[in-house]
Structure 1
Amino acid sequence: MSTAVSDALLAESRRPAAVAALTDVIDAEVADKSGFGGTAVKVGYAAAKKLGGDFVASATDRLLPQFAVALDPFWETKGDQPFGAHLASRADEAADALLAVTDAKAANTAHRAATKVYDSLRGAAKDNVIAALPRLGAAVEGLVA
């Protein structure tokens, strides 16, 4: 049986690399955005980065346990296909699982500025998460392998 994603990503020896890799995925996805919607994402992301020194990496680290657990069922069912392709083949379900993590955090944070930024971007979030699934899956697979 394969290792659960959560066990691998949360291992003390791998967690810093996992946070760095996932932050790189976020940075790359934001950089790839274009058009009016892309501009909104870039402005929101820039605002999030201004919230504190390393806000994005810190938030990624805080949410990593929940994200990793949300990815476990998808990892368990991926079979021989690349994880990014598997996530993309179950895009709606995978995006909903990941957004449930951020929705719960946004609903329970005392950081009002972060909530405001999140709320401004939430409408298009599912499409953005779906677009990121192949890159996310490849990053996770590289960390777990």
Structure 2
Amino acid sequence: MGLSDGLLDANKKAMVVNDCCNMIESQLAAKSGISGIALRTAFAALKGVKPGYIPYVVEQLLPPCFSAIDPIWSEGMQQGDPVAHLVGSRSRTADALLSVTDTRVKNSSRSIVRGTYEKLRGSAKQHVEEAVPDLAKVIQDYTKA
């Protein structure tokens, strides 16, 4: 059973999506300086695409994102601590997650989405790496037996 199977079943999906959206909001709130302002402005623009757009996108991205990081999580399971392994492999985890968003944006028909992503993509890996511990915690919360 992969992460998508376990985390996106009917009983958990809405809660996982909500927790991921809250995690994103918390990550953005913690950013400071010009890059923080740029990220919050970009996020506000994406929220303005249509009501509920961010939860919709998160819901669409989670299955391929969980599939992308599942091998890393599985390695951690074999080692006895998948959270620590995901966090310790944050560069690899960020690359796996960004490969999903890169593909999604490349195929997007919304120019505001493409343009916003392209402007911020250069610094995205650092921000995703910083979010990996929080993402690992969300995953852990829903994979506990």
TM-score, normalising length: structure 1: 0.92
What residue number does 1:81 align with?
81
CA RMSD between the two structures: 1.2
CA distance in 2, matches of 1:117, 1:20: 23
Quick check: 2:73–2:82 contact (8 Å CA) kept in 1? no
Matched residue pairs, number?
A: 142
What residue number does 1:127 align with?
126
Which portions of structure 1, spanning 4 or more consecutive aligned residues, are displaced by more than 4 angstroms?
Answer: none
* Amino-acid identity (%): 32
CA distance in 1, matches of 2:82, 2:72: 11
Quick check: 2:95–2:125 contact (8 Å CA) kept in 1? yes
What residue number does 2:103 align with?
104
CA distance in 1, matches of 2:52, 2:131: 21
Q: How does 1:55-70 map to 2 (within 5 A)?
A: 55-70=53-68
Name the aligned partner's letter for residue 120 of structure 2: L
Q: Secondary structure at the match of 1:11?
A: coil
- Show structure 1 runs of 5+ residues with no match: none
Deviation digits for residues 108-130 of structure 1, max 9, x if unmatched? 01111111111121111000000
Quote the offset at 1:141 in angstroms. Answer: 0.7
- Show structure 2 runs of 5+ residues with no match: none
TM-score, normalising length: structure 2: 0.92
The structure with higher relative contact order (CA 8 Å, sep 6+) is: 1
Quick check: 1:8–1:144 contact (8 Å CA) kept in 2? yes
CA distance in 2, matches of 1:126, 1:6: 22
Q: How does 1:1-145 map to 2 (within 5 A)?
A: 3-78=1-76, 79-81=79-81, 83=83, 85-145=84-144
